[in-house]
Amino acid sequence: MKYLLPFIYIIFVSAMFSCVPQTQNAETHNTQNGIDPYLWLEEVEGEKALKWAWEQSDATMKLIEADPRFEQFTSEALAIYEATDRILSGTIRGDYIYNFWRDETNIRGLWRRSPTQAYLENQPQWDVLIDFDKLSAEEGENWVYKGATGLPPTYDRFLIELSRGGKDAVVVREFDVRTKSFVQDGFNTEEAKQTVSWIDENTVFLSTDFGTGTMTESGYPSTIRIWKRGEDFNNKESIASVPPDYVAIWGWTQFNHDKNYSLISRSVDFWTHDILLVNDAFEAKKLNIPTDADFQGIWQDRIFILLRSNWDDIAKGSLVAVDLDGTHKSAVLTPGSKSAILAINFTSTHVLITVQGDVVDHVLRVSPHLDGWKLEKLALPENGTLTIKSAGSLHPDFFYTHEDLITPTTLGYLADATSEAVVLQQLPARFKSDDLELTQKFAISKDGTRVPYFLVAPKGMELDGNNPTLLYGYGGFEVSEKSEYWGKMGKLWMEKGGVFALANIRGGGEYGPAWHQAALKTNRHKSYEDFFAVSEDLIDRGITSPPKLGIMGGSGGGLLVGVAFTMRPDLYHAVVSQVPLLDMLRYHKLLAGASWMGEYGDPDDPLEGAYLKAHSPYHLLSPDVNYPKPLFVTSTKDDRVHPAHARKMTARMIEQGHPVMYWENIEGGHAAGSNLKQYAFRSGIEFTYLHQMLMD
Catalytic residue set: 555, 670
Q: How many residues does the chain have?
A: 696
> What letter would DSSP give residue 593?
G
Hey, CA dihedral for 172, 175, 181, 184, is it positive or negative? negative
d(CA 339, CA 353): 12
**Phi, psi dihedral angles at 540 (to 5 degrees):** -65, -30
Cβ-Cβ contacts under 8 Å for 314 (sequence gap 6 or more): 307, 320, 329, 331, 334
The helix, strand and coil proportions of the chain, stated in percent and rounded to the nearest 5, come to 25, 35, 45
Residue 78: strand, helix, or coil: helix
Least Cα distance to 32 among 590, 557, 524, 625 occurs for 625
d(CA 176, CA 188): 12
**Phi, psi dihedral angles at 399 (to 5 degrees):** -105, 165
Torsion of CA 501, 683, 62, 576, to 10 degrees: -30
Distances (CA, A) of 52 to 521, 542, 662, 679, 685: 33, 42, 11, 23, 19
In DSSP notation, 218-278 reads TSSB-EEEEEETTS-GGGSPEEEE--TTS-EEEEEEE--SS--EEEEEEEEETTEEEEEEE
Hey, CA dihedral for 652, 654, 658, 661, is it positive or negative? positive
d(CA 374, CA 351): 10
Asked if residues 612 and 599 have their Cβ atoms less than 8 Å apart, the reply is no
Asked if residues 522 and 614 have their Cβ atoms less than 8 Å apart, the reply is no
Enumerate the β-bridge partners of residue 467.
Answer: none
What is the helix (H) or strand (E) element at residue 91, kind and residue range?
A: strand 91-93
Residue 257: CA count within 13 A, CB half-sphere: 11
Asked if residues 376 and 351 have their Cβ atoms less than 8 Å apart, the reply is no
Asked if residues 500 and 543 have their Cβ atoms less than 8 Å apart, the reply is no
End-to-end C-alpha distance for the chain, whole angstroms: 25
In DSSP notation, 394-450 reads TBS-EEEEEEETTEEEEEEEESSTTSPPEEEEEPPPSS--TTEEEEEEEEE-TTS-E
In single-letter form, the type of residue at position 668 comes to G
Dmax of the chain from CA atoms? 71
Cα-based angle 603, 634, 561 (whole degrees, multiple of 5): 60
Neighbours of 286 (CB within 10 A): 13
d(CA 577, CA 566): 12
